[in-house]
Structure 1
Amino acid sequence: MSLTFFTLASATGNSQSRSFRLSAPEALVASGVLKHLLPRFSLKTQVRIELVGAGEADARFAAEGKGTPVFAGLDADWVLVTLTPGNEHVGRFEDWITSEVGRNTIESFQPGGKALFTAAVARQKDDETVVLPGNVVEGEKLAVTHCGRCHMVNEATRLTTIGSSPSFAVMRGFSDWQARFEAFFALNPHPSFTLIDGVTEPFDVSRPSPIVPLEMTLEELEAILAFVSQIPPADLGAPIQYQ
């Protein structure tokens, strides 16, 4: 039997691609810790996790073997094992569960007032800050013009965006943020309305005419990247608290 955790956006068509499959031993499932952890990750990241059998999973929790240490409990030291290398959502879950927020979430699982699991020692992170060259001021203006119709670029666009689109600050917190922004025009739904001079192909003649195109040059994209590189990543928040 599989148990599926949905994000708040799971009813949308896009949520289907923002997911991965996870397996875990029955003892870990029965402890209730996954019902505590997985919805909190999904709520903060909009990535859905499906709990499945071992043969179907993209990642698994294991009580032994090689993997990323995540917590200790139930007389075992648990690791997260990635089964589909390069899966960005598994990578994001790994980053979250080993972060300070993830560690606090693990240790806040206290059924009956007693903690059952202890978070693994925090991993050493690369503190190198990526700052891309370009006109930051111009980049912010261009981002508002071209991207502000859907994404919250800055405080001025907070109330004029599509609520289901992640903000620039949230996306800046993704481990692959630079690659995402550099190649945004190739990531859905952008190809249907984005033209970059000298990079993208002309629109197909069957493209619906009401779609207003987003047109920019590589120089403008460079300025936007410079602006994005200086946005502080969004703090996805502390574990959910209940009264």
Structure 2
Amino acid sequence: MHRIAFCLATALLAAPLAAQEDSRSFTLSVADELADSGLIAYILPRFSLKTSRRAELVSGAADLAISVDTGAGTPLMAQGETVFAVTRSGDNPAALMFGEWLFSDVGANTITAFVPASGPAFEIVEPEIEEVLYTFEGDVSAGAELAALHCGRCHRTDPEARNIGIGSTPSFMALRALPDWQERFVVFFALNPHPAFLLVDGISPPFDAERPSPIVPVELTFEEVEAIQAYAASVMPADLGAPVQHQ
């Protein structure tokens, strides 16, 4: 009886230890070029020192792989013309931590600090930023009227109009001159302070009963929102001059 209890207790204690060990290690597969360069032998001890996680180098399937980029993984670094990418399989937390470390500033600095015995140094591959283009297909004429009626409370909406809005609030023309003007107008109704007094039918949540609108609420349909966006896109950007140069 005592022997059975001892074996059971040993098994229960061993299970958490095994799980803990599993969470602190992961399998890693790397391209032959990386193994031969010495880079992996250089970075793994530094990663382990900081995180107490270790990698077991394997061939074939692994929790994480660094291989020559074929378009399937996330590009990480390059040596000359050869680009290496990272792919991860499964949900091993140690592998996830290593992947995050590789793409962090610390990981990047560790990679670029390595001096290979032959060949060029490794360089970090900068991620490609996909430019998002928006199209505004609302009724421009209706948008001009709606903007003057509702947005004109705070903004100057028409370069020919006399209303000046609130002095601390940028005009439509000034907003159009900003690099991110499209993003601003796409979700203007969700950007502060608009949610405090603006409701878009079917999109905006109702006002908090304890925080009613401080002014007469502005209520718009989504078609009216699109019209305002189309009008804003048609406005000529203001010339804001050159950026301020700090001496």
Q: Which TM class, normalised by the smaller chain length?
A: 0.3 to 0.5
Per the normalisation by structure 1, the TM-score is 0.43
Per the normalisation by structure 2, the TM-score is 0.42
